[in-house]
Structures are given as structure tokens and as C-alpha cells.
Amino acid sequence: MTAVFCCAGITGCSNDDPAIPLPPPTLEEGEKNEITLKDENYNKYIGNDVIGEGIANYYLVLSSTECKLDERGFPMPVADGDMLVIDLYATPSTGEKITIPEGSYRIGFKQNPFTFNIDNTMVIRNREAKLQYEAVTGGTVTVTNDASGNSNMDCELELANGTIVYYHFAGSPEFEDITDTWGAESTLKVDMIDTKFTDVQAFYYGNMFETATGNFMVYFYTDGFADDMQKEGSMLALCLFSNLANNPVQAKIEDGEYKVVPLTEGYGPTFTLMGGIPINGTPFGTYALKVDADGYSGTGFIDSGVVKVSRETNTNNYTFEYELLTDNKKKVSGSITKELIIEDMSDDGGDAFISNLEEDINTNLPEVQEATWTWKGTITGADNKQLDLWSVWLQASQGDAMVFEFATDLGLNGQIPDGTYTTDTHSWAERFTTSTAVAGYLWDGAPRGCWYLHFREEEGDYFHMDINAPAIEEGKVTVQKQADGNFKFEWNFIDDAPGKHKITGNWTGPLRAYNPDIDGEKVLFGKHCPTLTDWSLVQDKLNEKAIKLNRYNIKH
């Protein structure tokens, strides 16, 4: 349960002092040195089969002394005594009150009931204001419950140093149910509503993310927080994608409603915000930061919500109305009106577009014998309807190629229904319907959506593509299944170049599932064309962007 208190982080922060030996207890024959623990009210519960079918997680912090949260938000004993952190897995609690199921718990894994995970189970001792960390390597935990719901817990645990410790707890532990926020990266503990931001920084990064859209970073700070982010204060960072600026030094954020796109669903379409995430310990994307009076610093990574942007005519005065939600369900909302002096950090150089067409194209596909389809992921479209995304490829080993991406009802296995599919230049998943053809865009440098491509002779792969153009404006493709089972595709697209070149053509033939054993990587660009869920493929690219942001010493 690393997302709760990051126990691995606790053990990693242990004192360098050698372990402090405990004085041997004076015991009567047959007596054991048992320590009584009490509930510290830091317990967490995850149910609803999130961990696994029929499995729930009970994460307890019990102590013989007072505990408080440290500056990282971890509970620690603040006076002499023992604190036990124990990570139990059992069947879900069924009553109104969360109760630990009766049974004997032994070392195991989270997929198995009546086990405890030793990676997240430990003893933390305070001895004369020094913390001593002890890993648990074995033992048993026995739980019995009485009719009123109180639990008796007896722990016989073997520590890494070879000693046996005995703990007893009696009572009714209180659990915070974090089922809906399990896995959250955020440490923000409170909502941030109508925060009074006084200072602002704004930067234009242009096409840094290679998405053919303009990236803006806007940072709002409470008074003085930009100069000293260790003191009490707050900050909100917005990572917006708007239209590319033909003159970067005069870049403007377009008026409109910007929707948060979680990073697991990609990034970069116009009128969106990149969701927040930590990269190498640094917040990235859209996030909030709050330092309270006690010095606790909480970060909220935004994974849903909208920001409405409007600019006063002929001025640089912008209004941002925001309704955002972090991944641990904390609200970040309010309204800000500020003058934005947007500093150009881009290196685009002139008009920015992807297409390198110089004339209209009537595609020629005589060598394409059959089309291949592949599933790209499931998304939530318009009216909260679940849709599948399918890519269809018309590609031989050389020459012209066309790529289409369609939104369909679930479970059609690539059998694209007859009809006319139209592109939406915003590429918002929440706008997609069963008549959407996804406009072309780049994700991590690779094509997604609808594209025209041309490959050099005998080099039909991603690295030898000499002509390319995304189909983005006023585009449509008609699909019709023929009586013999073949499919007819007819398309009429416009690229993103200043000349607005037409991309037209048609093709008829069989449609089958992509098979890597037959087609090889080159047919679908292999790893160079990630699916919506291939998050690992964009990690390196995002790291590069984080490094560039930090290079300019932006305060975030």
C-alpha cells in the first residue's frame, strides 16, 4: 500500500545511527514482554475489489505513545515508545462500520486474504528522541471481534535483528475509506477554494511537446510565495495547450474552455490542460501546492476539471475560472483576473505546422492488398458514453499510405460500422461520438488519428517516412461494407499547412486484425505508435520536457 504513507519512503529516511539496543526485560517464567498499543487514527481502508476480487486492505498505525505527522505527512512517534505499522489483507468489511475480519494473519501478498505485507509492515521506536526502524520478517497477527464490534489484536512478530516482539491492541479502530482515491500521488490534505493569488508568471513553450499545438505554463502565487516557497502560501500551475503562435513573442492564450486530460490518455490537443504528475520528484503538468502554517507542504496533482479562459479585448488582462479536482479528490476552484506578460521560451522559429505537403494529394494505393486494424483503447466520449478507438492502416512496403482512427461502440472488434466519420480539430475525447474520425496529431513524435504518409522505396517504416500530413480540418471519411465482405473507404481531408492542401482518395479491400507475426513492427510503427494506455512509452519524453522547464529556473 505504498500510496498511503509511502512506507518505503519511511524506511529510506531512517537514522544513520546504529540501532539502539533495548535493555533486556525482567520477566517471570513463561511471561512475555507484551506492549499494549492504542489507535492513532491514521488507519486506511481500501475495499470494493480495488486490490483484487474479494480482497480488501486494512492499513493500521498503532502506538504505545503519541504520534504526529512529520513534514512529509508521515506519522511518527514523538515520545519514547513503539509504533507499529501493519499492512493487512482480508475479505472486505460488510457492516456500516469498517471492522477487521477475524482470523490469523501470516506473511503473504496482497492477492491473498488473511496475510500481511512485510514490505509495508514495520516497527518504529522512539528512544530518547532518536528514531529506530525495525523491519518485520515473520510472525502472526491474530484478530478476534466481540459482539459490539471491538477488536482484539495480538501480534507476535519477528524483527530483522532476530528478536521477537509482542503487541496487543483492544478497541475499535477508526478507518478512513480511501477506496476511491487509492493510488493517488497527491499529498494535498485540504480543498483550495477561492485562494487569493496576487502574483503571476506566464511562459510560452510553443511546439515543445511536438503536438502541433502551443504550450503555455501559467503560475499563480499568493503574496510573496514565489520568492520563498518554504513559507506559508499557495501556488497553482496550469499547463495549457492552445493554438500555435505565428509570432511567438506575441503569443496569446485563446479564449475558450480548457479541459484536463490525464496523462494516461495522452496530451497536446488544443483547448486542453495536461494532467499533473510527479517526475523525478518534481511536480509536472497542472497541479496545486500549499504550505500550511506548520510547514506541511501538500501537492495536488490535477486529473480532471475545466478552466475557462477569457481575455479583455486589446489588452493582456486574462480571467481564469477554474473548477479542478486532484487525484485524491481535493477541490481546487476559484477565479483569477490578472495581466499576463507571457515570456517566449519557444524555439519554434516561424510558422509552426506538421504537414510538409506542397500540393494537393490524390492518394495512390495500388499495392495495398488489405487493410489492418488495431485497438487503441477505450475512452469516455460525449454524454459519458464509453467508446472504443480503432486505427485502420492502408499501407504497403512503400509509397502512399493512409491511417484512420475511428470511435465506435464497444466490442466491435475492428468491424467499423458503415457511415461517414468527421474529424473534430479539438481532439477532445469528451466530444467524440460514434461518427468521429480523430484528427491527426503527434503523440511522443508518432502519428495518432488520421494521416497521409509516404514511405521511401523498400523502407516502409517510421524512420523512412519522407512525406507526412495530419488530416485535421473539415475532414471526413466514408466507410461502406460491400456485399462480398470487403470494405470501401473514401476520404476527403485538409492538412494543417498554410496552403490547406487537400488529401483525397478511395480504396476497397479486405479488413483484418493486425498480426505482429505477419506484419512486423513496420506496419504499425511498432513501439513508435503508442496506444492510449502505453504510458511507459512517453516517460522519457516527459522527462526531457521537465528538464527544459527546470533549465529556465521556473518556480514550480
Clarify whether residues 338 and 391 are in a common domain.
no
Q: Which residue in the block uniquely carries the three cell numbers 505477419?
A: 518
The Cα angle at residue 324 between residues 322 and 330, in degrees rounded to 5:
135
Q: Are 130 and 47 in contact (CB under 8 A)?
A: no
Q: Residue 212 pairs with which residues in a beta bridge? A: none
Clarify whether residues 459 and 366 are in a common domain.
yes
Domain boundary at 118, 148, 181, which? 181
Domain boundary at 124, 157, 181, which? 181
Instruction: Output phi, psi for 500, to 5 deg.
Output: 50, 65
Domain membership flag for residue 434: yes
Clarify whether residues 247 and 388 are in a common domain.
no
Return the SS3 of 522: helix
Pairing of strands 473-481, 419-424: antiparallel
Domain boundary at 181, 204, 220, which? 181
Residue 550 is predicted with a pLDDT of 44
Closest CA to 106 of 118, 94, 98: 118
The 3-state secondary structure of 204-256 reads EEECCCCCCCEEEEEEEECCCCCCCCCCCEEEEEEEEEECCCCCHHHCCCCCE
Clarify whether residues 342 and 368 are in a common domain.
no
Residue 187 is predicted with a pLDDT of 85
- The dihedral built from the CA positions of residue 27, 28, 34 and 35, taken in this order, carries a sign that is negative
Clarify whether residues 229 and 345 are in a common domain.
yes
Q: How far apart are CA 80 and CA 82, in angstroms?
A: 7
Residue 34 is predicted with a pLDDT of 87
Domain membership flag for residue 311: yes
Question: In terms of residue numbers, what domain contains 371?
Answer: 361-524
DSSP string, 432-459: --TTEEEPPEEETTEEESSEEEEE-TT-
Clarify whether residues 275 and 384 are in a common domain.
no
**Count of alpha carbons within 13 angstroms of residue 153, beta-carbon side:** 29
Clarify whether residues 281 and 310 are in a common domain.
yes
**The total number of structural domains that make up the chain:** 3
Residue 1 is predicted with a pLDDT of 43
Domain membership flag for residue 25: no
Q: Are 106 and 332 in contact (CB under 8 A)?
A: no
Clarify whether residues 52 and 153 are in a common domain.
yes
Entry pTM: 0.48
Read off the C-alpha cell for 62.
498503532
The 3-state secondary structure of 455-498 reads ECCCCCCHHHEEEEEECCEEEEEEEEECCCCCEEEEEEEECCCC
Domain membership flag for residue 533: no
Instruction: Output phi, psi for 432, to 5 deg.
Output: -70, 140
Domain membership flag for residue 236: yes
Residue 358 is predicted with a pLDDT of 87
Q: How far apart are CA 401 and CA 398, in angstroms?
A: 8
Clarify whether residues 56 and 167 are in a common domain.
yes
How many CB atoms neighbour CB 310 within 10 A? 16
Clarify whether residues 259 and 278 are in a common domain.
yes
Clarify whether residues 384 and 310 are in a common domain.
no
Q: How far apart are CA 544 and CA 149, in angstroms?
A: 53
Radius of gyration of the chain (CA): 29
DSSP string, 18-82: PP-PPPPP---TT---EEEEEE-S-EEEE-TTSSBTTBEEEEEEEESS-EEE-TTS-EEE-SSEE
Return the SS3 of 248: helix
pLDDT (tens, 9 = 90+) of the chain, 556 residues, equals 433 443 333 333 333 333 444 444 444 444 567 899 999 888 888 887 667 778 888 999 999 999 988 876 788 999 999 999 999 999 998 888 899 999 999 998 666 889 998 888 999 999 988 898 888 999 999 999 998 889 999 999 999 888 899 999 999 999 988 777 666 678 898 999 999 999 999 999 988 877 778 899 999 999 999 888 889 999 999 999 998 888 888 899 999 999 998 877 778 888 999 999 887 667 889 999 999 988 888 899 999 999 999 999 999 999 999 999 998 889 999 999 999 999 988 875 555 567 888 899 999 888 889 998 888 878 888 888 888 888 898 987 778 889 999 999 987 877 789 999 998 766 667 778 999 998 887 665 567 789 998 876 655 444 456 778 888 777 999 999 999 999 999 999 998 887 889 999 999 999 887 765 555 443 333 223 333 333 333 444 555 555 444 433 333 2
Q: How far apart are CA 231 and CA 486, in angstroms?
A: 67
Domain membership flag for residue 536: no
Question: How many residues make up the chain in this entry?
Answer: 556
The Cα angle at residue 136 between residues 131 and 141, in degrees rounded to 5:
120
Domain membership flag for residue 82: yes
Query: Between the CA of residue 413 and those of 322, 372, 375, 512, 513, what are the distances in Å?
Result: 39, 12, 8, 10, 8
Cβ-based neighbours of 282, under 8 Å, separated by 6 or more: 546, 550, 556
Clarify whether residues 281 and 368 are in a common domain.
no
Residue 6 is predicted with a pLDDT of 37
Q: How far is CA 162 from the centre of its chain?
A: 41
Q: How far apart are CA 363 and CA 221, in angstroms?
A: 52
Query: Between the CA of residue 195 and those of 62, 234, 333, 380, what are the distances in Å?
Result: 36, 8, 8, 31
Domain membership flag for residue 130: yes
Q: How far apart are CA 91 and CA 101, in angstroms?
A: 7
